[in-house]
Structure 1
Amino acid sequence: MQDHHWQLIAKQLKGELTPSEQDEWQEWLDENETHQTQYEQAKTLWQEKNEDSHLSDAQFLQRIQSDPALAWQGIMSQIDTPQRQRTSYAWIYRVAAVVALALGLGWASLHYTTDLLSDQTRIQTSDGTDSTYLPDSTRVWLNKHSTITYGDFKGETREVTLDGEAFFEVTRDEHKPFIVTTNHAKIQVLGTSFNINSRGARTDESLTVASGKVAYSPLEEPQHRIELIQNEHAILNPHTGAPIKQKMDRNFLAWKSGILRFENDALSHVQDVLSHYYGMTIHIPDPVIRDKRLTATFKQMTVDESIQVICNLYGLQKTQQDNTITLTKK
């Protein structure tokens, strides 16, 4: 179930759906029996909720495994409090996803854990991508095998740590900067959207800004801070660690959208993009073929489908050994 449907469920149970949302809600409910069953389970728990429950976020997360129904009751009771309403249901998404896992409803694919002492929440993806909301309603899309950790954002800043790749749509708050710390750098914004890739070595880290302005500074050399604006891209210098602006790759969000676009790109570049996107090694040994140009859009295509398009266009054949695909002339 998508995060948006959690919001519809919450509003439906509170009787706050607008006419247009009511139509969308009914359409979703009528799609299949599974949706109807999921809603009935949520409705039952709602009706049994304990209105006097004042458990903290961390306590809810701790008690889910032993009593998921009680955790759901707590979620619903918290909807009624003004403090939770200001988060635009973001807190509901975060806790409800974990409750869904405990109930075995199959509504969530993110793995949540909470440290009760530090009140830090850790969210991790495995083999797929997914999205979630933070306490300030900032939305985060996580690429596969990525992890973010964050607190309750009650201090003077909103701080998140990232290991992997994520795209952030940050809710603007001029009085409380949003800060992302990776293994090698720190990114600070007020309200913007950007993609950060931070896996392993410093040479693998990159930042791309989709909107707004972002301050980018390496942890080891913070004096080398630079600012990036919309459609700007930066990597860290492999020798000095200082950020360097580069030409933006139009496919920097392909992992999120599932769409790859090529506009008169050399096949040497195409093979690199496809290798990164599919997590494989795609190799064209002939330099003459690598110089050929491709203009195409691949939407939600498997690696075999994408390779077949290229083979058909240029008269190539594919051979594969383990995780390596080689393209040669027929």
Structure 2
Amino acid sequence: MNIFNILTKFINSSLNQEETRVLEQIKKGNGNNSRLFSIVKDYFSYKAVDLSAADKERVFEKIKLNTGNFTYTDHKPFLKKRITKLNLATYAAVASVALLISIGLWKYVTDNQGELNILIEAPLAQTREVVLPDSSKVWLNGGASLRYGKNYLKDRKVSLTGEAFFDVRKYNKATFRVLVNEFNVEVLGTTFNIKAYKNQHSEVKLYTGKVNFEVPSLNKKITLKPMEEVTYDPLTKEIQVSSFEKDEYDWRSGKYKFTDKPLKEIIAILNQNYSVTILLSEEQLGESMFSGAIGKDEPLADVLDKICISTGLNKTIEGDSITLY
């Protein structure tokens, strides 16, 4: 029975009863068995990027190519070609990193001090979810990039360019820091959003927990509470703190989520997003309430159907104008 087939099914959660029994024997078996299981398991549980099943298969093929032919028997070691633990780990790492680089998800880069860093980028018009080594999660908006060092667990520090949403987990009471252009954000465990594009106003929105916003050059440090945001102008160095209401649009899912939203406000959003003119036959209809989710790229006809069904209205279309009545 091929060990790689079993490990692949384990990663993809598709083991049958017999394969599960074999896997347990592999995990408890001789040193070679347990080492290989541990190495492969570690590489795929350390989800710096989320690989598809097809990509995982490609990684396994590369590992298999570089580590020899592995087979499993109940009583004999499955490692036919002797390779040291160090070499096996090195081959697996090279295979994994080579794949990640080839599909454009993960790059190794060096900073000004020559330190090796991991760089993860989200393509334009796409979002990417990243799971850091401490299980913290980061969602990168299109065109954003995140960088962190190989010693991340000792120094929980990341650098961000663009926009990202953070769900930071507590880890050994270690502080988590985000470095963005001229300012830093420091937390222990919390959820917040940072938008920081070059030569534009930057903003930090705090949803849960507590964060410290710091501009070292100004010797300025501000502590934010939940549902507070800070904006920073890199040109004027002006800092403003204000409260905000929960965002209705979640760029991570590409959906608007409305709860008892007046129809007139929804129509204003639709007119802007779809470049159309939606009118109400009577002004008081604008006070009708709508609750539901609307995808940003959802066809306008489907959105209007949702609204009409929810509010009991009808629609007429004349040229570029749509009237709800």
Same fold (TM over 0.5): yes
- Paired residue for 2:163, among 160, 165, 175? 165
1:215 counterpart = 2:218: no
Structure 2 unaligned segments of length 5 or more: list them: 1-7, 28-51, 68-82
CA distance in 1: counterparts of 2:243 and 2:229, whole angstroms: 5
Q: What whole-Å deviation, never above 9, does each CA across 1:70-121 have from its counterpart, x for those lacking one?
A: 9983239xxxxxxxxxxxxxxxxxx84761563xxxxx6x532222433122
Cα offset, 1:225, TM superposition: 0.8
> Which residues in structure 2 correspond to 1:48-197 (within 5 Å)?
48-50=65-67, 51-52=83-84, 54=86, 73-75=91-93, 96=96, 99=99, 102=102, 111-116=105-110, 117-126=114-123, 127-154=125-152, 157-183=155-181, 185-197=183-195
- Aligned to 2:151, the other structure's residue is in SS state coil
Structure 1 unaligned segments of length 5 or more: list them: 19-34, 56-69, 77-94, 103-107, 321-325
Aligned to 1:260: 256
Cα offset, 1:204, TM superposition: 5.2
Matching residue's letter, 2:106: Y
CA distance in 2: counterparts of 1:269 and 1:245, whole angstroms: 22
Q: What whole-Å deviation, never above 9, does each CA across 1:251-305 have from its counterpart, x for those lacking one?
A: 25x22234422223345643676689x6x76776899599545413225463424
Which protein has the larger Cα radius of gyration, Structure 1 or Structure 2? 2
Matching residue's letter, 2:220: Q
Identical counterparts, % of pairs: 18
Aligned to 1:304: 299
TM-score (norm 2): 0.60
CA contact (8 A) 1:181 1:187 kept: yes
TM-score (norm 1): 0.59
Give the direction of change, closer, same or farther, for the CA distance of 1:53–1:215 in structure 2 (3 Å limit): same
Give the direction of change, closer, same or farther, for the CA distance of 1:261–1:46 in structure 2 (3 Å limit): same
> Which residues in structure 2 correspond to 1:228-239 (within 5 Å)?
228-229=225-226, 232-236=227-231
Cα offset, 1:43, TM superposition: 4.2
Matching residue's letter, 2:304: Q
How many residues align? The count is 261
CA distance in 2: counterparts of 1:281 and 1:199, whole angstroms: 26
CA distance in 1: counterparts of 2:287 and 2:266, whole angstroms: 10
CA distance in 1: counterparts of 2:276 and 2:196, whole angstroms: 23
- Aligned to 1:256, the other structure's residue is in SS state coil
